[in-house]
Amino acid sequence: QKLPRIKILATGGTIAGKGASADRAAYKAGSLPIKDLIEAVPGIDKVAEISGEQISNVGSQDMTVDIWIKLNKRINEIFKNNEADGIVITHGTDTQEETAYFLSLTVRYDLPVVLTGSMRPATAMSADGPKNLYDAVTVAASANSRGKGVMVVFSENIFAGREAEKISTTHVDAFKAPNTGPIGQVYDGRVVYYMHDQRKGNKNTPFDITGMDKLPNVVVAELFADAPSTTIDAYVDKGVDGIVTAGLGNGNLNKVNMEAVTRAVGKNITVCRSSRVLTGRVTLYDETDDAKLGTIVSDDLSPQKARILLMLGLTQTKDKKTLQQYFFTY
Ligand SMILES: NC(=O)C[C@H](N)C(=O)O
C-alpha cells in the first residue's frame, strides 16, 4: 500500500534549537537543518513518504510577514502541483498561533496543513520535538484530516489553527485553545477528532493573496491601568493602516486612549477593539459605543490574531461593516 506523501516545511524554532548540553535550558533557536529533525524521529518513514524543505531558519520571535507570504505561496503551489497529500510545518512556538491563523485564512486547499514545534531544544534531555513531529506527520497523513483546515499539533492535542494559543512560556504542554478546547487527539499513532471547527477558513475566505508581496500595516496597542495614549499616538503619527487595541476587560479603553482612538479614526485608520483577557469575546456596544467611536470589534480573537484578520481584511476593503462581518465569520 502506498503511503501518503507528506512535505515538511521547516521554518526554525526551538524544535531546530541547539544547546550547549542536555541539562541546560539555554539554546539558540533555528540552528539545525531539516534533515537532522527528520532523522531524529524513528519510524516516521513508516507513517508517510517524507520530503523536506527549508523555508527559513529563525526563532519565531523573528517571524515576518515576508516569511508568511513565502510560506503561503509555497503551500498553495505544492497542493496545486500535487506534490504532497499533506504538509507539516515545523515552527517556533512564540508566534506559531499567528502563522497558523494566517495560513488558515489564506491557504486555498482542503488538504491538511499541520504546524508543530517544541519547547525543549533538540539537544535537551527528553526533547519534545521528535514526538511532536511524529504526531504532526501522523495527523497530516490521516484521511480523517481532510477538510479540517490548518491545525496545530502539540503534546498530543490537535487544535484548529484559529483557536490555538501559547499559554505557557516554559511548560512542555504549552498550547491550549482557551475558548473551545482541542478538536481532537493524536495518540499511539491514532488520530481521533471530537469536534469540527465551524468557523470558515481556507478556500472559503476572500483573502486570496496570490501575487501580493506586501500586506497592510496593522499593529497592536496594549492597555493597562492609567495607560497613557503614547503608543496609539505614535502609531497614528507613523501612518499605520490599522490598530488593534488589546483593551481592558471586554475591550475597554480608558479616557485618554478613547480620545487617541478618535484621532486615529479621524485619520482614516481602522481601529479594532480586542482584549488582553485570554478568553471570552469583545462585542459591539458593550460598554463602548462603537458606532460613535468608529471602531469595530474582534469577537473572540486575541489581539495578535485580530491583527492578522484586519491585515487581510484591509487587502479587500476599508468598509467597516464588511470588515466587522469578517470578524464574525472567520
Ligand atoms: N519554544 C520555542 O520554539 C520558542 C522560540 N523562541 C521560538 O519561537 O522559536
Q: Are 231 and 253 in contact (CB under 8 A)?
A: no
Task: Give domain 218-329's CATH number out of 3.40.50.460, 3.30.1330.90, 3.20.20.70, 3.40.50.40.
Answer: 3.40.50.40
Query: What angle in degrees, to the nearest 10, is found between the helix axes of 96-106 and 303-313?
Result: 30
Q: State the pLDDT at residue 198.
A: 86
- pLDDT for 30 equals 83
Q: How far is CA 5 from the centre of its chain?
A: 24
Which cell numbers hold the place of 323?
470588515
Model confidence pTM above 0.80: yes
What residue ranges do the domains of the chain occupy? 5-204, 218-329
Mean pLDDT taken over the chain: 95
CA-wise closest residue to 136 among 217, 214, 37, 223 = 37
pLDDT < 70 stretches in the chain: none
Q: How far apart are CA 224 and CA 108, in angstroms?
A: 39
List residues near ligand 1 (CB under 6 A): 13-14, 29, 59-61, 92-94, 117, 119
Q: Of 71, 63, 59, whose CA–CA distance to 7 is shortest?
A: 71
3-state secondary structure of 161: coil
Would you state the pLDDT for residue 244?
A: 99
* Phi, then psi, of 189 in degrees rounded to 5: 80, 5
Instruction: Tell which phi-psi region holds residue 188, choosing left (phi > 0), alpha (psi between -120 and 50) or beta.
Output: left
Length of the chain: 330
**Would you state the pLDDT for residue 174?**
98
Nearest Cα residue to 91 out of 182, 19, 21, 152: 152
- Note whether 5-204 and 218-329 share their fold: yes
Q: What is the complex's ipTM, to 2 decimals?
A: 0.97
How many Å lie between the centroid of ligand 1 and the Cα of residue 63?
10
Looking at the domain covering 5-204, what would its CATH class be? alpha beta
| Ligand 1 pocket mutation, candidates 56, 90, 91, 94, criterion most atoms within 8 A of CB | 94
> What's residue 23's pLDDT?
81
Q: What CA–CA distance (Å, rounded) separates 104 from 277?
A: 23
Q: Among 37, 29, 115, 123, which residue's Cα sits nearest to residue 75?
A: 115
Question: pLDDT tens across 25-41, in order?
Answer: 788 888 888 899 899 99
Q: Please choose, from the candidates 132, 123, 200, the residue with its C-alpha nearest in 3D space to the C-alpha of residue 160.
A: 200
CB 220 within 8 A of CB 307: yes
DSSP 274-291: EESSSSS-B-TTSSS-HH
Query: In ligand 1, which atom is closest to the CA atom of 12?
Result: 9
Q: What is the DSSP letter of 169?
A: S
Among candidates 164, 133, 136, which has minimal Cα distance to 308? 164
Q: Which atom of ligand 1 lies closest to the CA of 15? A: 3
Q: Answer yes or no: are the C-beta atoms of 145 and 156 closer than 8 Å.
A: no
Residue with CA nearest ligand 1 atom 7: 92
pLDDT single digits (tens) 37-87: 899 999 999 999 999 999 999 999 999 999 999 999 999 999 999 999 999
Q: How far, in Å, is the centroid of ligand 1 from the Cα of 167? A: 13
For ligand 1, the distance from its centroid to the CA atom of residue 151, given in whole angstroms, is: 18
**Residue list, annotated binding site for substrate:** 60, 93-94
d(CA 280, CA 301): 9
Q: Which three cell numbers stand for residue 296?
A: 469595530
